[in-house]
Amino acid sequence: MRGSTAPLPTEPSPQISASHPAGQTGVPSIPCDVTGRPSGPRDGQPLLHLQRAVGKVDVAFARKNGGSVLRQLRQQGAAKCKFPRIWSAQPEAVLLNTAGGVTGGDRFSQTCAVDAGASLTVTTQTAERIYRSVSGEGHISNTLSVAAGGRLDWLPQETIVFDGGRLRRRLDVSMAEDATLWALEAYVLGRKAMGEKVRAGFVSDQWRIRRGGRLVFAEAMRLSDADGAFDTALSGHATAYGADAFATLILCAPDAEDRLLTARRVLNECGLGGDAEAMAGASAWDGILCLRFLAPTGRVLRNALISALSALREEPIPRVWRL
């Protein structure tokens, strides 16, 4: 009858699935009652079947007509690759994560190949963000190859880990004996300006670099709340000395060891060491130059890396680093 209202139900309502046909929207199925509110788990199942981000990029550059040109590009899912117009002989590839970050269950993989005599700089549009994980870990796999006489500069921007973030990342490099590789990974634990502190989570970062088929660099970093709070684990003199931001920069090249004194001079000129806000050190062995950086904040670390990279490399810093 006009103007009448139906009485509200007094008994628990039957389960109604607020979902769409598979393959049309990708919206997960959530048990709801007739009011549209989530009604809780059923039969021991979790309340939400969360949608996960997946992305893959495969890019390759070759030598042609005296320069380096794109030979192959494949991209799918939430991973994209763009090529900005630059005024440098060495082209740039900028990786994007359109999902906005990484959380538990996400999977991303990037493969970058540089053919004989070619060169390429690879970076990211912005800092990667590792958000709190409800379950599982985010996975990132980076595979690089550099052929004879080639050069690859792997210079992603920093990775910001938020409290509760969980990440497994791996970097695998295969390079020729006379190839050149710059490789950087930087971490920031929370945003100090926002009062954030990372005490729980998990980070595993594995590096494997092979030159001429021989393993020349292997490193494994592991941070886990199972071993205690992050800030406690990183407070020691043998770890991060209490720093919330840190980075590793590697140069693999035939003349890498010859650049050690230059690298140390550059670090001193950049004010990295002693009582400076950021600290850095350099060592060299077996055709490898390794630089380590520690800083109290992400901004201080970024400034230190920009200063060092600008002085040590023979190419300008990627423009997206200054945006």
- Using the structure block, give the residue that is written with the tokens 């380590």: 292
In a domain, 2, yes or no: no
Segment among 52-61, 90-99, 145-154, 240-249 with least mean pLDDT = 240-249
Distance of CA 286 to CAs 153, 217, 253, 262, 290, Å?
A: 19, 9, 10, 17, 11
**What radius of gyration do the chain's Cα atoms show?**
24
The answer, yes or no, to whether residue 60 has pLDDT greater than 80, is yes
Residue 198's domain spans which residues? 54-322
Helix (H, G, I), strand (E, B) or coil at 303: helix
Average pLDDT over residues 261-290: 87
92 and 207 assigned to the same domain: yes
In a domain, 8, yes or no: no
Average pLDDT over residues 208-225: 95
Tell me what pLDDT residue 18 has.
36
Helix (H, G, I), strand (E, B) or coil at 268: helix
In a domain, 268, yes or no: yes
- Using the structure block, give the residue that is written with the tokens 């906005």: 100
Number of structural domains, the chain?
2
25 and 107 assigned to the same domain: no
Structure tokens at 111: 């493969």
The answer, yes or no, to whether residue 125 has pLDDT greater than 90, is yes
Tell me what pLDDT residue 323 has.
78
98 and 31 assigned to the same domain: no
Tell me what pLDDT residue 12 has.
43
Average pLDDT over residues 88-96: 94
